[in-house]
Chain A
Amino acid sequence: MQSYIPIFLMIGVSAFLGIVFLVLQRFLGPHRPNPEKLSTYESGMPPVKSARERFSVKYYMVAVLFILFDIEVIFLYPWAVNFRALGLFGYVEMILFILILLVGYLYILKKGALQWD
């Protein structure tokens, strides 16, 4: 726990600095709003509809697959730290784990789930 104190402090100090920036901006800058200024920028055209449109399912796909492979990456860390201690046995174990996930990876490629067209 002791060694984490600086990390908490660092996060605190940097967040504080960010807030100071935001507050300073508020007091130092001018504030003269008008409807034209506050309208959404759309290359000089009057904005059409809200920007909160639905977007392609591909992005959702990327996020789901990211979670799954992220878990794989996480599992690799405790293994890598003990790699020398676990030796050949650990190596074979992890290769098996990766191979099983590679099946899933190949399936993704085959189905074209990550095809951006």
Chain B
Amino acid sequence: MEISPVIEALIKIIVVIFFILLPCVAYLGVQLERKLSAWIQNRVGPNRVGPYGLLQPLADIPKLFFKEDIVPAAANKFVHSLGPLISLTIAFSTFAVMPFGDTLPIVVNGVVHNISLQIANVNIGVLYVLALSSLAVYGITLSGWSSNNKYSLLGGIRSSAQMISYELSLGLSIIGIVMLSNTLQLNDIVKAQSGYYLFGFLPNWNIFVQPIGFITFFVAMFAETNRLPFDLPEAEPELVAGYHTEYTGMKFGMFMLSEFLAMFAAAGMITTLYLGGWQAPYIEYLNLSPFVVSLVQVGAFFTKFALIVVFFMIVRWSMPRFRYDQLMNIGWKVMIPLSLLNIALTGLFILKPIHTWFN
């Protein structure tokens, strides 16, 4: 059974988009966020549509299509529609290099096919993600500018300055990991995190090897995804809704969708780079068949991923927002020196491992 790489890739893309990402946005995103925020604020949250309110997203999302699409008369019509399109395309495309698992061995007619659980295993995966996040600025800037609304413009400009500032520390934080694993291929970075570290039981995940890098990366990811406490582009008290003030219906929905997807991409990248990706520690002691191991690993990836997403949400609903000058000061005066320090220290420890320091 030989299928062409184009067909194989298309099948994977459709599975990832329609059976992983969109359900994730509906339930892990919209529904869970509403329930969690309700829980944090001592409310009940959606509980009317279906059992426990579980059908709420199915009612919410199609509703957006049936709303009127209002484009302000003063807006630049073409760019106004282009904004959400760019945001959404970039948000989806990030997942092309995400390793959801290693390989899934499927036996067809007695022949084992190892299906890679990653859409594209390219050897510049890290740079690809960085390039996409640098392009994500346009979706927001352009929609802010094209609306011809003062709030939108301020939101758009603020957010682009914020995103490019934190992109530097984002890029610098990953360098530490690349130095350790000497590859830009995300699946290989995950593989490099196998085994155990310190005392033989702590998994060799980069979070334990690169604590400074982890913190800078984590903070930069929050800023990149415009989540609270970094949600200056849409600070409600001052900017109404920021860059998407003038968007209605599904165009607004596309921004919501891409915001959730960006958060998922951030969670996925944190999992892949720092939390060992699909590595499930201690699994080798269980003597499972390769097929089951593979499934457990996918499960491990999504567990870590979901935990990070929940953490993102708890932070959002319990933190106040930064002031803009504080935000820029953190970005330029704290994050960049810290991530440079991380590089210098990582280099030092690789050249002279810690156990050789005292003899």
Contacts and interface: CB of A to CB of B under 8 A. Distances in A.
A and B touch in the complex (CB under 8 A): yes
B240 A21 contact: no
Given A11-B93, A53-B150, A77-B184, A24 B88 contact: no
Given A42-B149, A59-B157, A6 B12 contact: yes
Contact of A10 (B66, B95, B343): B95
Contacts of B250: 21-22, 24-25, 29
A5 B6 contact: yes
Contacts of A13: 10, 13-14, 17, 92
B227 interface: no
B325 interface: yes
Contacts, number: 214
Interface string B115-133: 0000111110011100000
Interface string B167-178: 110011001001
Contact of A30 (B5, B64, B68, B150): B68
A66 B17 contact: no
A69 interface: yes
Interface in A66-117: 66, 69-70, 73-74, 76-77, 80-85, 87-88, 91, 94-95, 98, 102, 105, 109, 114, 116-117
Contacts of B17: 13-14, 17
Contacts of B324: 116
Given A39-B73, A51-B153, A76-B343, A18 B89 contact: yes
A52 to B, nearest CB: 7
A76 B148 contact: no
Contact of A5 (B5, B145, B171, B333): B5
A18 B168 contact: no
B178 A81 contact: yes
A109 B6 CA distance: 51
Q: Chain B interface residue count: which class?
A: 35 or more
Interface stretch (B23-31, B101-109, B344-352): B344-352
Contact of A51 (B95, B121, B152, B240): B152
Interface in B169-195: 171-172, 175, 178-179, 182-184
Contacts of A10: 9, 13, 92-93, 95-96, 119-120
B71 A38 contact: yes
Interface in A20-41: 21-22, 24-26, 28-33, 35, 37-41
8 contacts: A13-B14, A18-B89, A26-B69, A42-B149, A50-B148, A66-B167, A73-B175, A91-B347
Interface of B: 5-6, 9-10, 12-14, 17, 64-74, 81, 84-85, 88-89, 91-93, 95-97, 119-123, 126-128, 134, 145, 147-154, 157, 160-161, 164-165, 167-168, 171-172, 175, 178-179, 182-184, 240, 245-246, 249-251, 253-254, 324-325, 328-329, 332-333, 336, 340, 343-344, 347-348, 350-351
